[in-house]
Amino acid sequence: MSARMLLPMRRIGDCVFLSGHGCEGEDGKPIVVGHVGDSVTLEEGQRAARRCAQRMLEALECEFGTLDAIECVVKVLGFVNSAEGFDQQPLVMNGFSEVLVERLGERGMHARTAIGVNMLPNNQAVEVEMIVKLRSEK
């Protein structure tokens, strides 16, 4: 049923609203599972966040053929599966933001919110949603 209800992204004019993407690997399983600050280290959390960004850029490339279609990233909302007492969500999400800037340069700069939560789907470490703007001519 989900396949007929959900979209990886919805485009409205030049704005693209992407679904929440987790840190699944090639096999469809999250590459990092658990709460950051408990069984998951900061570095592992950052690796999970990097993976989320890679997956979202892949989804955008798949949809629009090339990342050149992107004028800029608008906003990122990142949720970090957080152990009680772990309050460095922005450091985790820097892994995500770094990938955007590595791949897109200044176009990858963005407004961002980084939040801690107690549970995420499949107990993955990070989940992120994002809004991007396309170039008008695309």
Which residues of the chain form contacts with its own copies (CB under 8 A)? Answer: 1-2, 4-10, 12, 14-15, 17-20, 72-75, 77, 79, 82-90, 94, 97-98, 100-101, 108-123, 127, 129, 131, 133
- Quote the least distance from Cβ 68 to its own copies, whole Å: 18
- Quote the least distance from Cβ 66 to its own copies, whole Å: 21
Q: Are the CB atoms for 138 and 16 separated by under 8 Å?
A: no
Q: Are the CB atoms for 79 and 120 separated by under 8 Å?
A: yes
- Quote the least distance from Cβ 63 to its own copies, whole Å: 12
| Partners of 79 in the β-ladder | 115, 127
Q: Which amino acid is at 45?
A: G
Instruction: Determine whether 19 is exposed, middle or buried from the number of CB atoms within 10 Å of its CB (0-12, 13-18, 19+).
Output: middle
